[in-house]
Structure formats: structure tokens, C-alpha cells
Amino acid sequence: MRRKTLNIIGLLLFFLLWQLIPMVGLVNPDYLPPFSDAIMKIPTEIGKGTLQAALLESLLHYAIGFGGALLLAIPLGVAMGRFRVIESLLYPVEEMVRPIPPIAWIPVAIIWFGYTPWAAGFIIFIGAFFPTLINTYDGVRGVSRTDIEAAITLGVRDELTMIRKIVLPASLPNIFTGVRVSNAAAWMCLVAGEMFGAGGGMGLELTLSRNYMDMARIFAYMLILGVIGLSSDIGFRRYESKVLRWRKGVVA
């Protein structure tokens, strides 16, 4: 496929530039080590076992924060979209808490949870919670009246069946959008939280590398974070287009 080939060529060109700029002396390699130096750090880090350990810790934080956010945000978004009372009660609170940058919660998290995985998980939770909540809520409010009424005339009597069979599937495109935005926010908050020492992980390794003044190591860990972010987004998109085959313009 043409597009995929170009995608790969683009990436290769980027790595090539990264390699050449410090090599020809355009910038000092002490500040920007060439691509090859960063890549060579990866086997070393694996050899020492640090990379795997950091990755596992980060994945634990991600699972706590991101998983918790989805588990809470989706039902709450549905409830806000379906029930006036809940909407009126929660909307102002939500609108006030949402603009606070998740990073601002780092001191709170560390005091509440100490230097544990729960601290990092909490910060990720804050970052991932709102995008999914808002998009779910929007999606649920946007479910067409005709769909709801058709379901009633076809025999749906209770709210739970209505949510399961109509509201959730109809708002799934919005929920997916929310989940992808949440995923990006989760990784951002993950690194920020960990850099402050909340529970170890990839972010902490970045801080440690800075202490060692090991630029190649910094870039090695950043590269890995980039790859994780990219592949998780591709993963979500693939799953999304499989589940949402029914949408117009999406070819099965």
C-alpha cells in the first residue's frame, strides 16, 4: 500500500536526520546523541533488567489509572446522559474539576498514597477520566429519539435493557473517541507522575538518567514511550473500526 510505504519512509527519514544532525556536528552530541546511541542503550538496559522492570511498573500504573477511569467514566457518562437529576447535580462539579490540569494533582496523590503505584495510578485516573466521561455523556445525549421510541414500540420496558441494547451501542463511536483521548492523556500523566517519584516506572528512569547526565539513556526511554503511545493508539483504532463496521463510510 502506498500510504503505508510513505509512513515508513517518513519514519526512516526522521531517524536518519536524528542520526546525521549530531554526527556532522550541527548540534553537540552531548545534548542530542545520535539515534544509534539511543538504540544501543536498549539492549544494555534490557541486559541490566531495568527496562523490563520499569515497563512493568508503568503498565501496572496504567492499568490502575486507565482501567479505573473507564470503569467509572462510562457508567457515569451514561447516567448523566440519561437522567436529568444526575446531570444537573454532577455537571457543575465536573465542569469545575475538569479544567484543573491533572499534573496539579501530583502533590495530592503523593501525600494521599505515598510513593506507591496507587499515587501514579491516581494521577493517570484524573487525566483519563474526563475525556471518556465527556464523550460518553455527549454520545448518550445524542442518541436519536426515534431509536429510543422504536425500541419502546418493539417492547423495551426497562431502562437497563434500553441502555444495553440501544444507548450503549448507539453512542459507541463517541465512547471510543473518548477512550482514545483518555489513552493519550493517561500516558502523559503516567510519565509526569512517575517523574515525581510516584511509584517508579518509565518516568522515574527518565529522572534518574538526568541525574546520571546520560542523554542517550533519556532518549532511549523516550523512544520507547513514543512507540508504546503509537502502538496503543493503532490498537484502539483497529479495534474500533472492527466494532464500528456499521458506520457509514467505514468499509467492512
Partner 1 sequence: MSKIVVRDLTKRFGDLLVIKDLSFDVKERELLCMVGPSGCGKSTILRILVGLDTDYEGEVMIDDEPLTGHNPKIGLVFQEHALFMWRTVLGNVEFGLEVKGVDKKRRREISMDAIRMVGLEGFENCYPHELSGGMKQRAALARVLVNDPEILLMDEPFAAVDAQTRNILQEELIDLWHRTGNTILFVTHSIDEAVYLGDRIIVLDRRPTRVRATFDNTIPRPRDRTSAPCVELRRKILGVLKEIRAGVKEDFTTFK
Binding site for partner 1 (CB under 8 A): 144, 146-147, 149-156, 161, 165-166, 169-170, 172, 244-248
Tell the smallest beta-carbon distance from residue 158 to partner 1 (Å).
10
CA–CA separation, 193 and 121 (whole Å): 9
CA distances from 16 to 35, 75, 134, 162 (A): 8, 47, 41, 55
Give 210 or 242: the residue with its C-beta nearer to partner 1: 242
Block residue for cell numbers 526522521: 14
Q: Helical H runs in the chain?
A: 2-23, 35-48, 50-62, 68-82, 84-97, 106-113, 117-141, 145-153, 159-162, 168-195, 202-212, 215-243
Tell the smallest beta-carbon distance from residue 74 to partner 1 (Å).
17
Tell the smallest beta-carbon distance from residue 243 to partner 1 (Å).
9
CA–CA separation, 201 and 52 (whole Å): 9
Give 46 or 244: the residue with its C-beta nearer to partner 1: 244
Tell the smallest beta-carbon distance from residue 251 to partner 1 (Å).
10
CA–CA separation, 71 and 203 (whole Å): 25
**Cα pseudo-dihedral 179, 185, 190, 195, rounded to 10:** 180
Q: What angle do CA 22, 24, 28 make, to 5 degrees?
A: 40
Give 2 or 145: the residue with its C-beta nearer to partner 1: 145
Tell the smallest beta-carbon distance from residue 248 to partner 1 (Å).
4
Give 153 or 211: the residue with its C-beta nearer to partner 1: 153
Give 55 or 151: the residue with its C-beta nearer to partner 1: 151
Tell the smallest beta-carbon distance from residue 200 to partner 1 (Å).
42
Give 72 or 172: the residue with its C-beta nearer to partner 1: 172
